[in-house]
Protein backbone atom coordinates (compact mmCIF):
# COMPACT_ATOMS: atom_id res chain seq x y z
CA UNK A 1 0.00 0.00 0.00
CA UNK A 2 2.74 2.48 0.94
CA UNK A 3 4.79 1.67 -2.14
CA UNK A 4 1.93 1.82 -4.60
CA UNK A 5 0.15 4.88 -3.17
CA UNK A 6 2.91 7.24 -2.10
CA UNK A 7 1.11 10.64 -1.98
CA UNK A 8 -2.66 10.92 -2.29
CA UNK A 9 -5.41 13.55 -2.01
CA UNK A 10 -8.55 12.52 -0.17
CA UNK A 11 -11.74 14.52 0.05
CA UNK A 12 -14.03 13.94 3.00
CA UNK A 13 -15.70 15.35 6.11
CA UNK A 14 -13.71 15.69 9.31
CA UNK A 15 -15.00 13.44 12.07
CA UNK A 16 -13.76 12.85 15.61
CA UNK A 17 -11.09 15.58 15.52
CA UNK A 18 -8.91 15.81 18.63
CA UNK A 19 -5.62 17.43 19.52
CA UNK A 20 -3.39 15.41 21.84
CA UNK A 21 -1.27 16.88 24.64
CA UNK A 22 1.77 16.21 22.48
CA UNK A 23 0.44 18.63 19.83
CA UNK A 24 -0.37 15.89 17.30
CA UNK A 25 -3.86 15.91 15.78
CA UNK A 26 -6.01 12.86 15.06
CA UNK A 27 -9.14 12.74 12.92
CA UNK A 28 -11.22 10.70 10.56
CA UNK A 29 -12.14 11.54 6.95
CA UNK A 30 -15.44 10.10 5.84
CA UNK A 31 -18.05 10.21 3.14
CA UNK A 32 -21.38 8.42 2.89
CA UNK A 33 -19.71 5.03 2.29
CA UNK A 34 -16.36 4.84 4.05
CA UNK A 35 -13.96 6.39 6.59
CA UNK A 36 -10.18 6.58 6.86
CA UNK A 37 -8.12 7.65 9.85
CA UNK A 38 -5.68 10.51 9.60
CA UNK A 39 -2.92 12.05 11.67
CA UNK A 40 -1.28 15.49 11.54
CA UNK A 41 2.05 15.67 13.29
CA UNK A 42 2.69 18.56 15.66
CA UNK A 43 4.97 20.57 13.37
CA UNK A 44 2.56 20.36 10.44
CA UNK A 45 -0.48 21.10 12.62
CA UNK A 46 1.04 24.44 13.67
CA UNK A 47 1.27 25.50 10.02
CA UNK A 48 -2.33 24.78 8.98
CA UNK A 49 -4.13 27.73 7.38
CA UNK A 50 -7.27 27.10 9.46
CA UNK A 51 -8.31 25.29 12.62
CA UNK A 52 -9.86 21.88 11.77
CA UNK A 53 -13.32 21.20 13.18
CA UNK A 54 -15.80 18.33 12.96
CA UNK A 55 -18.20 18.63 10.04
CA UNK A 56 -15.89 20.59 7.72
CA UNK A 57 -15.41 19.08 4.28
CA UNK A 58 -11.73 19.15 3.41
CA UNK A 59 -9.17 17.91 0.93
CA UNK A 60 -6.25 16.24 2.70
CA UNK A 61 -2.92 15.69 0.96
CA UNK A 62 -0.40 13.30 2.41
CA UNK A 63 1.11 9.84 2.48
CA UNK A 64 -0.69 6.55 3.10
CA UNK A 65 0.90 4.42 5.77
CA UNK A 66 -0.04 1.48 7.96
CA UNK A 67 -0.42 1.40 11.74
CA UNK A 68 0.65 -2.07 12.92
CA UNK A 69 -0.88 -1.61 16.36
CA UNK A 70 -4.35 -1.86 14.89
CA UNK A 71 -3.58 -3.48 11.54
CA UNK A 72 -5.14 -0.46 9.80
CA UNK A 73 -3.91 2.01 7.26
CA UNK A 74 -4.09 5.78 7.70
CA UNK A 75 -3.08 8.98 5.99
CA UNK A 76 -0.33 11.18 7.39
CA UNK A 77 -1.65 14.60 6.42
CA UNK A 78 0.87 17.14 5.16
CA UNK A 79 -1.61 19.81 4.02
CA UNK A 80 -5.30 20.38 4.65
CA UNK A 81 -7.61 22.59 2.61
CA UNK A 82 -11.29 23.33 2.92
CA UNK A 83 -13.13 21.66 0.04
CA UNK A 84 -14.64 24.46 -2.00
CA UNK A 85 -15.69 28.04 -1.32
CA UNK A 86 -19.14 27.01 -0.12
CA UNK A 87 -17.64 24.98 2.70
CA UNK A 88 -15.34 27.84 3.63
CA UNK A 89 -18.25 30.24 3.74
CA UNK A 90 -20.17 27.79 5.92
CA UNK A 91 -17.21 27.54 8.27
CA UNK A 92 -16.84 31.33 8.27
CA UNK A 93 -20.50 31.80 9.17
CA UNK A 94 -20.30 29.27 11.99
CA UNK A 95 -17.22 30.97 13.42
CA UNK A 96 -18.78 34.40 13.05
CA UNK A 97 -21.87 33.36 15.03
CA UNK A 98 -19.78 31.76 17.77
CA UNK A 99 -17.56 34.83 18.22
CA UNK A 100 -20.52 37.20 17.99
CA UNK A 101 -22.22 35.27 20.77
CA UNK A 102 -19.24 36.11 22.98
CA UNK A 103 -19.79 39.81 22.29
CA UNK A 104 -16.53 40.32 20.35
CA UNK A 105 -18.35 42.21 17.58
CA UNK A 106 -20.63 44.33 19.83
CA UNK A 107 -20.87 48.00 18.92
CA UNK A 108 -20.39 49.14 22.52
CA UNK A 109 -16.89 47.63 22.48
CA UNK A 110 -15.78 49.78 19.57
CA UNK A 111 -13.70 52.89 20.25
CA UNK A 112 -13.64 56.24 18.48
CA UNK A 113 -10.66 56.86 16.23
CA UNK A 114 -8.29 59.66 17.34
CA UNK A 115 -8.78 62.84 15.32
CA UNK A 116 -5.08 63.47 14.71
CA UNK A 117 -2.90 60.47 15.69
CA UNK A 118 0.76 61.26 16.35
CA UNK A 119 1.92 57.72 15.52
CA UNK A 120 0.20 55.15 13.28
CA UNK A 121 1.07 51.46 13.49
CA UNK A 122 0.63 49.36 10.34
CA UNK A 123 0.43 45.55 10.33
CA UNK A 124 1.00 44.27 6.79
CA UNK A 125 3.57 42.82 4.42
CA UNK A 126 6.66 45.04 4.05
CA UNK A 127 7.08 44.19 0.36
CA UNK A 128 3.56 44.55 -1.05
CA UNK A 129 1.83 47.52 -2.64
CA UNK A 130 -0.35 47.97 0.44
CA UNK A 131 2.26 49.71 2.58
CA UNK A 132 3.28 51.97 -0.32
CA UNK A 133 -0.35 52.97 -0.91
CA UNK A 134 -0.86 53.78 2.78
CA UNK A 135 2.33 55.85 3.07
CA UNK A 136 1.59 57.72 -0.14
CA UNK A 137 -1.95 58.57 0.95
CA UNK A 138 -0.83 59.71 4.39
CA UNK A 139 1.82 61.95 2.83
CA UNK A 140 -0.84 63.57 0.61
CA UNK A 141 -3.31 64.21 3.42
CA UNK A 142 -1.34 64.68 6.63
CA UNK A 143 2.32 63.62 6.94
CA UNK A 144 2.44 61.25 9.94
CA UNK A 145 4.90 59.10 11.85
CA UNK A 146 4.33 55.46 10.76
CA UNK A 147 5.66 52.33 12.48
CA UNK A 148 5.49 49.15 10.36
CA UNK A 149 5.26 45.70 11.96
CA UNK A 150 6.10 43.37 9.04
CA UNK A 151 4.11 40.12 8.76
CA UNK A 152 3.16 37.58 6.12
CA UNK A 153 -0.50 38.05 5.23
CA UNK A 154 -1.43 34.60 3.90
CA UNK A 155 -0.40 31.01 4.18
CA UNK A 156 1.00 29.02 7.05
CA UNK A 157 1.82 31.04 10.15
CA UNK A 158 0.21 34.23 8.86
CA UNK A 159 -2.53 34.33 11.50
CA UNK A 160 -0.01 33.87 14.31
CA UNK A 161 2.21 36.68 13.02
CA UNK A 162 -0.70 39.07 12.57
CA UNK A 163 -2.03 38.37 16.08
CA UNK A 164 1.46 38.75 17.54
CA UNK A 165 1.92 42.10 15.79
CA UNK A 166 -1.38 43.48 17.11
CA UNK A 167 -0.62 42.37 20.65
CA UNK A 168 2.93 43.67 20.31
CA UNK A 169 1.76 47.16 19.40
CA UNK A 170 -0.75 47.07 22.27
CA UNK A 171 1.92 46.12 24.82
CA UNK A 172 4.41 48.84 23.82
CA UNK A 173 5.42 51.40 26.45
CA UNK A 174 4.34 54.97 25.75
CA UNK A 175 7.80 56.20 26.82
CA UNK A 176 9.75 53.47 25.05
CA UNK A 177 12.34 53.87 22.29
CA UNK A 178 9.62 53.32 19.66
CA UNK A 179 6.51 55.46 19.93
CA UNK A 180 3.41 53.54 20.94
CA UNK A 181 0.81 53.97 18.16
CA UNK A 182 -2.32 56.01 18.72
CA UNK A 183 -3.97 54.06 15.89
CA UNK A 184 -3.35 50.69 14.19
CA UNK A 185 -4.13 49.74 10.57
CA UNK A 186 -4.33 46.00 9.82
CA UNK A 187 -4.22 45.68 6.04
CA UNK A 188 -3.60 43.50 3.00
CA UNK A 189 -4.61 43.56 -0.65
CA UNK A 190 -7.42 41.68 -2.32
CA UNK A 191 -7.55 37.95 -2.99
CA UNK A 192 -9.67 34.85 -2.79
CA UNK A 193 -11.34 33.70 0.40
CA UNK A 194 -8.47 31.27 0.88
CA UNK A 195 -5.93 34.11 0.52
CA UNK A 196 -7.73 36.16 3.14
CA UNK A 197 -8.39 33.27 5.49
CA UNK A 198 -5.70 34.29 8.00
CA UNK A 199 -7.86 37.31 8.93
CA UNK A 200 -10.76 34.95 9.72
CA UNK A 201 -8.79 32.93 12.25
CA UNK A 202 -9.92 33.16 15.85
CA UNK A 203 -6.47 34.10 17.11
CA UNK A 204 -6.47 37.24 14.94
CA UNK A 205 -10.05 38.17 15.83
CA UNK A 206 -9.38 37.90 19.56
CA UNK A 207 -6.15 39.91 19.34
CA UNK A 208 -7.99 42.75 17.54
CA UNK A 209 -10.92 42.65 19.99
CA UNK A 210 -8.60 42.73 23.03
CA UNK A 211 -6.42 45.57 21.73
CA UNK A 212 -6.75 48.83 23.69
CA UNK A 213 -5.54 50.90 20.71
CA UNK A 214 -8.24 51.75 18.10
CA UNK A 215 -7.88 49.58 14.99
CA UNK A 216 -8.89 50.07 11.35
CA UNK A 217 -9.27 46.83 9.37
CA UNK A 218 -8.50 47.18 5.65
CA UNK A 219 -8.39 43.62 4.31
CA UNK A 220 -9.04 42.92 0.63
CA UNK A 221 -11.21 44.96 -1.69
CA UNK A 222 -14.51 46.67 -0.97
CA UNK A 223 -16.55 43.49 -1.50
CA UNK A 224 -14.32 41.34 0.74
CA UNK A 225 -15.36 40.85 4.35
CA UNK A 226 -13.40 39.07 7.07
CA UNK A 227 -14.01 38.45 10.76
CA UNK A 228 -11.22 40.95 11.46
CA UNK A 229 -13.50 43.62 9.98
CA UNK A 230 -16.22 42.79 12.53
CA UNK A 231 -13.79 42.91 15.47
CA UNK A 232 -12.05 46.14 14.43
CA UNK A 233 -13.26 49.58 15.53
CA UNK A 234 -13.66 50.71 11.89
CA UNK A 235 -13.65 48.86 8.58
CA UNK A 236 -12.11 50.45 5.49
CA UNK A 237 -12.97 49.10 2.03
CA UNK A 238 -9.32 49.38 0.92
CA UNK A 239 -5.92 50.14 2.49
CA UNK A 240 -5.96 53.56 0.80
CA UNK A 241 -9.34 54.28 2.36
CA UNK A 242 -7.89 53.26 5.73
CA UNK A 243 -5.26 56.00 5.41
CA UNK A 244 -8.02 58.49 4.61
CA UNK A 245 -9.94 57.43 7.73
CA UNK A 246 -6.81 57.69 9.86
CA UNK A 247 -5.98 61.39 9.34
CA UNK A 248 -7.75 64.55 8.14
CA UNK A 249 -6.62 66.59 5.14
CA UNK A 250 -4.06 69.13 6.34
CA UNK A 251 -5.16 71.89 3.96
CA UNK A 252 -8.81 71.40 4.92
CA UNK A 253 -7.86 71.45 8.60
CA UNK A 254 -5.95 74.73 8.18
CA UNK A 255 -8.89 76.24 6.31
CA UNK A 256 -11.27 75.10 9.04
CA UNK A 257 -9.03 76.62 11.72
CA UNK A 258 -8.88 79.89 9.79
CA UNK A 259 -12.66 79.98 9.45
CA UNK A 260 -13.08 79.18 13.13
CA UNK A 261 -10.69 82.00 14.03
CA UNK A 262 -12.60 84.44 11.83
CA UNK A 263 -15.91 83.41 13.38
CA UNK A 264 -14.44 83.69 16.86
CA UNK A 265 -13.14 87.22 16.22
CA UNK A 266 -16.50 88.22 14.76
CA UNK A 267 -18.28 86.86 17.82
CA UNK A 268 -15.90 88.76 20.11
CA UNK A 269 -16.46 92.03 18.21
CA UNK A 270 -20.24 91.58 18.30
CA UNK A 271 -20.15 90.86 22.01
CA UNK A 272 -17.93 93.88 22.66
CA UNK A 273 -20.33 96.04 20.62
CA UNK A 274 -23.30 94.87 22.66
CA UNK A 275 -21.42 95.58 25.89
CA UNK A 276 -20.53 99.08 24.65
CA UNK A 277 -24.19 99.76 23.83
CA UNK A 278 -25.25 98.59 27.29
CA UNK A 279 -22.58 100.78 28.90
CA UNK A 280 -23.74 103.82 26.95
CA UNK A 281 -27.35 103.17 27.94
CA UNK A 282 -26.38 102.86 31.61
CA UNK A 283 -24.20 106.00 31.40
CA UNK A 284 -27.16 108.05 30.12
CA UNK A 285 -29.09 107.12 33.26
CA UNK A 286 -26.36 108.32 35.61
CA UNK A 287 -26.46 111.94 36.98
CA UNK A 288 -24.12 114.52 35.49
CA UNK A 289 -20.77 114.94 37.18
CA UNK A 290 -21.39 118.64 37.92
CA UNK A 291 -24.52 117.91 39.91
CA UNK A 292 -23.20 115.02 42.01
CA UNK A 293 -21.63 117.20 44.73
CA UNK A 294 -23.67 120.40 44.49
CA UNK A 295 -25.71 119.76 47.62
CA UNK A 296 -22.63 118.72 49.61
CA UNK A 297 -20.74 121.84 48.52
CA UNK A 298 -23.61 124.06 49.63
CA UNK A 299 -23.76 122.23 52.94
CA UNK A 300 -20.04 122.90 53.47
CA UNK A 301 -20.53 126.60 52.79
CA UNK A 302 -23.34 126.74 55.32
CA UNK A 303 -21.19 125.01 57.93
CA UNK A 304 -18.31 127.38 57.24
CA UNK A 305 -20.63 130.34 57.80
CA UNK A 306 -21.91 128.86 61.06
CA UNK A 307 -18.45 127.99 62.37
CA UNK A 308 -17.45 131.47 63.63
CA UNK A 309 -20.69 131.79 65.59
CA UNK A 310 -20.23 128.37 67.11
CA UNK A 311 -16.67 129.13 68.08
CA UNK A 312 -17.67 132.46 69.60
CA UNK A 313 -20.34 130.70 71.60
CA UNK A 314 -17.87 128.09 72.82
CA UNK A 315 -15.47 130.85 73.83
CA UNK A 316 -18.17 132.69 75.74
CA UNK A 317 -19.10 129.56 77.61
CA UNK A 318 -15.43 128.95 78.37
CA UNK A 319 -15.02 132.50 79.73
CA UNK A 320 -18.08 132.14 81.96
CA UNK A 321 -16.88 128.81 83.32
CA UNK A 322 -13.46 130.25 83.88
CA UNK A 323 -14.86 133.23 85.74
CA UNK A 324 -16.91 130.98 88.00
CA UNK A 325 -13.94 128.89 88.97
CA UNK A 326 -11.48 131.76 89.36
CA UNK A 327 -12.67 132.70 92.84
CA UNK A 328 -12.25 129.15 94.09
CA UNK A 329 -8.64 128.77 92.97
CA UNK A 330 -5.42 130.08 94.35
CA UNK A 331 -4.17 133.19 92.60
CA UNK A 332 -1.04 131.55 91.22
CA UNK A 333 -2.88 128.50 89.93
CA UNK A 334 -5.61 130.70 88.54
CA UNK A 335 -3.07 132.78 86.73
CA UNK A 336 -1.38 129.67 85.27
CA UNK A 337 -4.64 128.14 84.16
CA UNK A 338 -5.83 131.49 82.89
CA UNK A 339 -2.64 131.87 80.88
CA UNK A 340 -3.14 128.38 79.45
CA UNK A 341 -6.74 129.08 78.57
CA UNK A 342 -5.78 132.42 77.04
CA UNK A 343 -3.16 130.66 74.91
CA UNK A 344 -5.74 128.15 73.71
CA UNK A 345 -8.21 130.99 73.17
CA UNK A 346 -5.59 132.79 71.15
CA UNK A 347 -5.10 129.73 68.95
CA UNK A 348 -8.84 129.34 68.44
CA UNK A 349 -9.11 133.00 67.53
CA UNK A 350 -6.38 132.68 64.95
CA UNK A 351 -8.06 129.51 63.62
CA UNK A 352 -11.37 131.37 63.49
CA UNK A 353 -9.80 134.14 61.51
CA UNK A 354 -8.24 131.71 59.08
CA UNK A 355 -11.49 129.76 58.57
CA UNK A 356 -13.70 132.79 58.23
CA UNK A 357 -15.42 132.61 54.84
CA UNK A 358 -14.70 136.26 54.16
CA UNK A 359 -10.97 135.87 54.66
CA UNK A 360 -10.18 134.61 51.11
CA UNK A 361 -11.95 137.65 49.74
CA UNK A 362 -9.10 139.85 51.01
CA UNK A 363 -6.74 137.92 48.71
CA UNK A 364 -8.75 138.73 45.59
CA UNK A 365 -11.22 135.84 45.61
CA UNK A 366 -14.97 136.23 45.25
CA UNK A 367 -18.02 134.24 46.34
CA UNK A 368 -21.07 133.78 44.16
CA UNK A 369 -24.39 133.28 46.00
CA UNK A 370 -28.04 133.24 45.09
CA UNK A 371 -30.45 135.86 46.42
CA UNK A 372 -31.02 133.79 49.58
CA UNK A 373 -27.31 133.68 50.41
CA UNK A 374 -26.70 130.13 49.28
CA UNK A 375 -23.29 129.60 47.63
CA UNK A 376 -23.32 128.75 43.88
CA UNK A 377 -20.36 126.47 43.04
CA UNK A 378 -20.92 125.68 39.33
CA UNK A 379 -21.77 127.44 36.08
CA UNK A 380 -24.86 125.28 35.75
CA UNK A 381 -26.09 126.44 39.16
CA UNK A 382 -25.49 130.08 38.18
CA UNK A 383 -27.40 129.66 34.93
CA UNK A 384 -30.22 127.94 36.77
CA UNK A 385 -30.43 130.73 39.41
CA UNK A 386 -30.53 133.43 36.74
CA UNK A 387 -29.81 136.24 39.22
CA UNK A 388 -26.86 136.05 41.63
CA UNK A 389 -24.65 138.11 43.94
CA UNK A 390 -20.85 138.41 43.75
CA UNK A 391 -19.21 138.93 47.15
CA UNK A 392 -15.88 140.83 47.14
CA UNK A 393 -13.63 142.01 49.93
CA UNK A 394 -15.08 145.52 49.95
CA UNK A 395 -18.69 144.80 49.04
CA UNK A 396 -21.14 142.90 46.83
CA UNK A 397 -22.36 143.15 43.25
CA UNK A 398 -25.72 141.89 42.07
CA UNK A 399 -25.78 140.35 38.58
CA UNK A 400 -27.89 138.22 36.25
CA UNK A 401 -27.34 135.87 33.32
CA UNK A 402 -28.20 137.11 29.82
CA UNK A 403 -27.41 135.08 26.69
CA UNK A 404 -24.79 133.13 28.61
CA UNK A 405 -22.97 136.37 29.72
CA UNK A 406 -22.93 137.96 33.19
CA UNK A 407 -24.14 141.61 33.45
CA UNK A 408 -24.36 143.87 36.51
CA UNK A 409 -27.86 145.26 36.91
CA UNK A 410 -28.17 146.76 40.43
CA UNK A 411 -26.33 149.03 42.80
CA UNK A 412 -23.23 148.05 44.75
CA UNK A 413 -23.72 147.81 48.47
CA UNK A 414 -20.44 149.62 49.06
CA UNK A 415 -18.86 151.94 46.49
CA UNK A 416 -15.98 150.20 44.77
CA UNK A 417 -14.12 153.47 44.21
CA UNK A 418 -13.86 154.02 47.96
CA UNK A 419 -12.11 150.77 48.50
CA UNK A 420 -9.48 151.37 45.92
CA UNK A 421 -10.28 148.08 44.12
CA UNK A 422 -11.82 147.90 40.65
CA UNK A 423 -15.22 146.30 40.03
CA UNK A 424 -15.57 142.75 38.70
CA UNK A 425 -17.18 143.96 35.47
CA UNK A 426 -15.31 147.28 34.94
> Would strands 7-19 and 57-67 be described as parallel, antiparallel, or unpaired?
antiparallel
Q: Is residue 187 part of a domain?
A: yes
Residues 116 and 241 occupy one common structural domain: yes
- HEC profile of 21-55: CCCCEEEEEECCCCEEEEEECHHHHCCCCCCCCCC
* pLDDT (tens place) for every residue of the chain, 426 residues total: 666 767 888 888 888 899 888 889 999 998 878 888 999 998 888 887 777 887 788 889 998 887 666 667 888 998 888 776 566 677 788 888 989 999 999 999 999 999 889 999 999 999 888 999 999 999 988 888 999 999 999 887 899 999 999 999 999 988 888 889 999 999 998 887 778 888 999 999 999 999 999 999 999 887 788 999 999 999 999 999 999 999 988 777 777 888 888 889 989 999 998 998 888 888 777 777 667 777 777 888 888 888 888 888 888 888 888 877 766 666 666 677 778 888 888 888 877 777 766 777 777 788 888 888 888 888 888 888 888 888 887 888 888 888 654 444 444 444 443 444 444 444
Measured distance CA(382)–CA(389) in Å, rounded: 10
Q: Which of 60, 52, 83 is nearest to 193 (CA)?
A: 83
Number of domains the chain is built from: 4
| CATH number of 40's domain | 2.40.50.140
Residues 158 and 214 occupy one common structural domain: yes
pTM over 0.75: no
Residues 327 and 364 occupy one common structural domain: no
Residues 145 and 200 occupy one common structural domain: yes
Measured distance CA(363)–CA(318) in Å, rounded: 32
| CATH number of 134's domain | 3.40.50.261
Quote the pLDDT of residue 388. Answer: 86
Residues 115 and 39 occupy one common structural domain: no
Q: Is residue 253 part of a domain?
A: no
Where does a domain end: 297, 324, 356? 356
End-to-end CA distance of the chain: 152
Residues 115 and 235 occupy one common structural domain: yes
Residues 212 and 114 occupy one common structural domain: yes
Q: Is residue 73 part of a domain?
A: yes
Quote the pLDDT of residue 408. Answer: 46
CB 218 within 8 A of CB 113: no
Residues 214 and 151 occupy one common structural domain: yes
Quote the pLDDT of residue 85. Answer: 59
Quote the pLDDT of residue 410. Answer: 47
User: Distance between alpha carbon 330 and the CA centroid of its chain, in Å?
Assistant: 90
Q: Is residue 228 part of a domain?
A: yes
Q: Which of 71, 72, 75, 73 is nearest to 63 (CA)?
A: 75
CB 142 within 8 A of CB 183: no
Domain of residue 422, residue span: 358-426
Q: Is residue 121 part of a domain?
A: yes
Q: Which of 235, 183, 236, 187 is nearest to 212 (CA)?
A: 183
Quote the pLDDT of residue 259. Answer: 85
Q: Which of 136, 156, 125, 154 is nearest to 226 (CA)?
A: 154
Q: Is residue 190 part of a domain?
A: yes
Residues 198 and 126 occupy one common structural domain: yes
Helix residue ranges per DSSP H, 142-238: 158-170, 202-210, 227-231
Residues 214 and 184 occupy one common structural domain: yes
> Would strands 7-19 and 25-30 be described as parallel, antiparallel, or unpaired?
antiparallel
User: Can you give the C-alpha Rg of the chain in angstroms?
Assistant: 55
Residues 118 and 219 occupy one common structural domain: yes
Measured distance CA(175)–CA(5) in Å, rounded: 60
Residues 292 and 209 occupy one common structural domain: no
Amino acid sequence: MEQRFGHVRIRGEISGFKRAASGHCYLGLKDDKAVIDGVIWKGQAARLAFAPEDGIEVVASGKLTTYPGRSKYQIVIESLEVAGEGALMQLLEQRRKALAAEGLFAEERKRHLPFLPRTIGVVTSPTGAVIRDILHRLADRMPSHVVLWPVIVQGEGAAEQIARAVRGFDSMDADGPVSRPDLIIVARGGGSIEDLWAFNEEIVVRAIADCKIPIISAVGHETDTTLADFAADRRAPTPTAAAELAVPVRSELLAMLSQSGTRAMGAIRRHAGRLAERLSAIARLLPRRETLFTAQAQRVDELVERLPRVLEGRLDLARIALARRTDRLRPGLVEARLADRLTRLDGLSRLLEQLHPERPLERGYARVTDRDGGTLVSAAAVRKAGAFTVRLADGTVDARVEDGRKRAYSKRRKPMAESGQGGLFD
